[in-house]
Amino acid sequence: MKYLDRLIFTAILISLLGFSYVVTDTEGIVGGSSKIEDELSDIPTVQTIPVITYEPIPDMLASWYGPGFHGRMTANGEIYDQFDLTAAHKSLKFGTLLRISNKLNGKSVLVRINDRGPYVGDREIDLSYGAAKSIGMLKSGVKTLAVELVKVSDSIEILNSKVPM
């Protein structure tokens, strides 16, 4: 039965994606190239690259959460995965990207806000287990960390042209 399911799934996938085969005039010729390939390689291409900036915001007292919440729903409706690089904050918009840095060891991590909290003491941000582990703060549990707002703004275009050899 599993074989039949796979076969049906494969047939549906091929029909949805379409199937095509392109024959070039150099097929079967070792080391050959076509005129079309040579002409296309002369055409410059444009590569679009996003501009990413980091805006420092005040340090935050951070803690981490994990096993007790793993598999539960977060405030934005996602299922919490303690190994994802996410964080909880009381007021930052869901989807906000932050670069969190441990000043003692120089390690940093990018996290995405997907939950609300923490609601314990003066803590300002709760990192997922995965994020806390990546910057080496699991043992301390609570630590003041440097925080930067990650901004992805307009893209720049870079022109790639063929360099003569």
pLDDT digits (tens, 9 = 90+) for 13-24: 565 555 444 444
Q: Tens digit of pLDDT for each residue in 55-81?
A: 999 999 999 998 899 999 999 999 999
- 22-33 residue pLDDT tens: 444 544 545 555
What contacts 1, CB < 8 A, 6 or more positions away?
none
* Among candidate residues 92, 101, 113, the one with its CA nearest the CA of residue 144: 101
Greater confidence, 159 or 115?
115
Q: What is the pLDDT of residues 96-106, one digit of tens each?
A: 999 999 999 99
- CA dihedral of residues 101, 121, 124, 80 (deg, nearest 10): 90
Model pLDDT, residue 23: 47
Q: What is the pLDDT of residues 122-148, one digit of tens each?
A: 999 999 999 999 999 999 999 999 999
Query: What pLDDT, on the 0 to 100 scale, is given for residue 134?
Result: 97
* Calpha distance 90→106 (Å, rounded): 26
What's the whole-model pTM score? 0.67
pLDDT of res. 42: 64
Q: What is the 3-state secondary structure (H, E, C) of the chain?
A: CHHHHHHHHHHHHHHHHCCCCCCCCCCCCCCCCCHHHHHHHCCCEEEEEEEEEEEEEEEEEEEEECCCCCCCECCCCCECCCCCCEEEECCCCCCCEEEEECCCCCCEEEEEEEECCCCCCCCCEEEEHHHHHHCCCCCCCEEEEEEEEEEEEEEEEEEECCCCC
- Which CATH number is 49-154 given? 2.40.40.10
pLDDT of residue 136: 96
